[in-house]
Structure 1
Amino acid sequence: VIASAAKTVSELAPGRVEFWIGRGFSSVQTIGIPPATVRQMRRCVVTLKSLLSGEDVSFNGATSRMRHGDDDLPRIFIAAHGPRTIEVAGEVADGVLLQVGIHPASVEVARRHLEIGAKRAGRNPDDLEIILCATTIILDDQQEAREAARPLCVQRLMEESHAPYLHAAGIEAGDLEIPRAALDELYPDIPHAEDWEKAKELCAFLPDDILAQLCDAIGLIGTPDYCAQQLRKAEANGIKHLYLMTGETYQFPHRELQAFRDTIFPALGRV
């Protein structure tokens, strides 16, 4: 079904379609389904590529194929932050959406895992497109933007898989007492909490200096002018492609769009 849908859209927009897949996390955990395993991710990409190429594929003992599979194939990207998932992206995907922040040292850690996977499969890692996921919260006041990002920053500290990237960025917060039980009660989870003010209150323990470090490491968080400066630094560090993941779960990110239109793009000469 997924391969057929991807192929249909690629026929409507030849050469313009990218197909992104991820493990699930929030989207599946809220209905009691665990995230996909690394093995399932690999099998999914390999199967999709076979179907899109018109090859025979076995499903539970039955053989199937897509009649209209051909050479005009949509590229498949894997969204990843764990080292094993990044390596699988290097092995089988056409590109990767790295959810490791934008700090150059963090990105380098992820690149090494991507290279390991690519070389394991006999591929050239330079052939893989890398997109960085940048958490984006833009407000007129710098501290207000950072305060809005508190729960997102604390979530990074709570997830062990992010530790190597935070360590590479020079962020150490091992002595902090995180109220995990209270945070786990937020619905549906921390980054998508319906009661964002409550989430911020529970994350008030995070010192302002560590909050500032985390905000700079995970994305574009601050005033429009500050975020334009952060983008210039990212570009100088070789970052070429960002995916902007705003902090808004239940509203359209009008502020961020306006900031890019009115301030950031003009500041970067991208009008």
Structure 2
Amino acid sequence: MDVGVVLQTNPPAARVVELARQAELHGFSHVWTFDSHLLWQEPYVIYSQILAATRKVVVGPMVTNPATRDWTVTASHFATLNEMFGNRTICGIGRGDSAVRVLNGRPTTLATLRESIHVIRELGNGRAVEINGATLRFPWGADSRLEVWVAGYGPKALELTGQVGDGFILQLADPAIVEWTVRAVRQAAEQAGRDPDAVTICVAAPAYVGDDLAHMRDQCRWFGGMVGNHVADLVARYGEGGMVPSALTDYIKTRQGYDYNQHGRAGNTHADFVPDEVIDRFCLLGSPAYQVERLQELRDLGVDQFAVYLQHDGKAQTLEAYGEAVIPAVRELPTAKA
């Protein structure tokens, strides 16, 4: 299992770069960032500095969207970074949340998401693509390679992911929901004539290594609020029960709104509705041994990468503990002597 880290591009950008450098030193494989250009600093500028300061980590957004960025410009960002630093980028994409809602916009349709995935992937892999009646490509980008991983929760989004995604991003670590979503993605891939195992599965959630459970819960309660935005959309679309598991939808019944000015921030004032048991299911909070136990459970469910949301006050200790005890336990390495 690979282990990545998810950062916010809060100023100073130099600190984000340093966290990424430390993550690589501790054995993390991927450095992801939020992508919301009004709430935080521009990630693609910071990616160039992360790539320059590291040797192997793969970087990309978790997640971008088709609404706030022109698709050809997005592809050009990735292809340019790949030319500068080798093929070390990845594109996580979804319908849009904070980036569009802060602008009083709405998430895109799944049809638009599907089309954007095609355009970004073709251009990002040096191939030609039809756009607005013209055949376009980057004449300088033939050697670029880019995977596009799709984030989603609902049945239709999971179906789309299985049909066209190189990977699937689920932003929570509840085993029952992981099992349900992974099964849906793989079934959709098989029905589309694809190899189900060719879709990489990534689970992303806060992980906090420590022993004060009450404090860790309070530091990570924001995550249940963030996920609740997407769940509220699902309930509006599908209703309660039936197509979406109650393990995902029940906890938002007392949700009363959301302040995007506090999006992804520990100690925010709009996540009090999130109960402790949801935090415990969605996040990984506890000792290194507990982290390993949870990650092994996720790996057994088909998860290929776990990405640590690091939006809490235990960044340094969590990075170090993962590097010293957790990543070596979940990364399968060959022995020196058989």
Matches within 5 A, 1:24-63: 24-51=96-123, 52-59=125-132, 61-63=133-135
Percent identity between matched residues is 25
In the alignment, is the contact (CA less than 8 A) between 2:224 and 2:279 conserved in 1? yes
Q: Which residue of 2 aligns with 1:240?
A: 304
Q: Which residue of 2 aligns with 1:216?
A: 280
After superposition, the Cα gap between the structure-2 partners of 1:261 and 1:42, relative to the gap in structure 1 and judged at 3 Å, is same
Q: Which residue of 2 aligns with 1:255?
A: 317
After superposition, the Cα gap between the structure-2 partners of 1:31 and 1:113, relative to the gap in structure 1 and judged at 3 Å, is same
Deviation at 1:120, TM superposition (A): 4.1
Deviation at 1:25, TM superposition (A): 0.2
Q: TM-score, normalised by structure 2?
A: 0.62
After superposition, the Cα gap between the structure-2 partners of 1:27 and 1:254, relative to the gap in structure 1 and judged at 3 Å, is farther
In the alignment, is the contact (CA less than 8 A) between 1:145 and 1:223 conserved in 2? no
Q: Which residue of 1 aligns with 2:92?
A: 20
Q: Which residue of 2 aligns with 1:264?
A: 326
In the alignment, is the contact (CA less than 8 A) between 2:149 and 2:165 conserved in 1? yes
Q: Distance in 1 between matches of 2:295 and 2:314?
A: 22
Q: Distance in 2 between matches of 1:6 and 1:155?
A: 27
Q: Which residue of 2 aligns with 1:130?
A: 201
Q: Distance in 1 between matches of 2:331 and 2:145?
A: 34
Q: Distance in 2 between matches of 1:125 and 1:16?
A: 24
Deviation at 1:13, TM superposition (A): 3.9
Deviation at 1:9, TM superposition (A): 2.0
Q: Distance in 1 between matches of 2:143 and 2:322?
A: 37
Deviation per CA, 1:141-197: give whole Å up to 9, x if none: 122212333343355467243877763x5x8857x86251xx43x3425x4358x25
Q: Secondary structure at the match of 1:221?
A: strand
In the alignment, is the contact (CA less than 8 A) between 1:142 and 1:222 conserved in 2? yes
After superposition, the Cα gap between the structure-2 partners of 1:14 and 1:259, relative to the gap in structure 1 and judged at 3 Å, is same
Q: Distance in 1 between matches of 2:228 and 2:146?
A: 35
Q: Secondary structure at the match of 1:20?
A: strand
**Are 2:208 and 1:146 aligned?**
no
Q: Distance in 1 between matches of 2:150 and 2:331?
A: 31
Q: Distance in 2 between matches of 1:197 and 1:18?
A: 30
CA RMSD of aligned residues (A): 3.4
Q: Secondary structure at the match of 1:133?
A: strand
Q: Which residue of 2 aligns with 1:178?
A: 254
**Are 2:192 and 1:121 aligned?**
yes
In the alignment, is the contact (CA less than 8 A) between 1:137 and 1:247 conserved in 2? no
After superposition, the Cα gap between the structure-2 partners of 1:153 and 1:58, relative to the gap in structure 1 and judged at 3 Å, is closer
After superposition, the Cα gap between the structure-2 partners of 1:116 and 1:239, relative to the gap in structure 1 and judged at 3 Å, is closer
After superposition, the Cα gap between the structure-2 partners of 1:125 and 1:236, relative to the gap in structure 1 and judged at 3 Å, is closer
Deviation per CA, 1:203-245: give whole Å up to 9, x if none: 48x3xxxx23x23321312344432332243344443311112
In the alignment, is the contact (CA less than 8 A) between 2:288 and 2:321 conserved in 1? yes
Q: Distance in 2 between matches of 1:130 and 1:77?
A: 9
Q: Distance in 1 between matches of 2:126 and 2:91?
A: 15
**Partner AA of 2:94 in structure 1:** G
User: Which consecutive unaligned segments of at least 5 residues does structure 2 have?
Assistant: 1-72, 236-240, 334-338
Q: Distance in 2 between matches of 1:269 and 1:77?
A: 21
Q: Distance in 2 between matches of 1:82 and 1:58?
A: 28
Q: TM-score, normalised by structure 1?
A: 0.75
After superposition, the Cα gap between the structure-2 partners of 1:145 and 1:118, relative to the gap in structure 1 and judged at 3 Å, is same
* Larger-gyration structure (1/2): 1
Q: Secondary structure at the match of 2:108?
A: coil
In the alignment, is the contact (CA less than 8 A) between 1:232 and 1:268 conserved in 2? yes
Q: Which residue of 1 aligns with 2:179?
A: 108
In the alignment, is the contact (CA less than 8 A) between 1:76 and 1:95 conserved in 2? yes
Q: Secondary structure at the match of 1:23?
A: coil
User: Which consecutive unaligned segments of at least 5 residues does structure 1 have?
Assistant: none
Deviation at 1:128, TM superposition (A): 1.2
In the alignment, is the contact (CA less than 8 A) between 2:265 and 2:311 conserved in 1? no
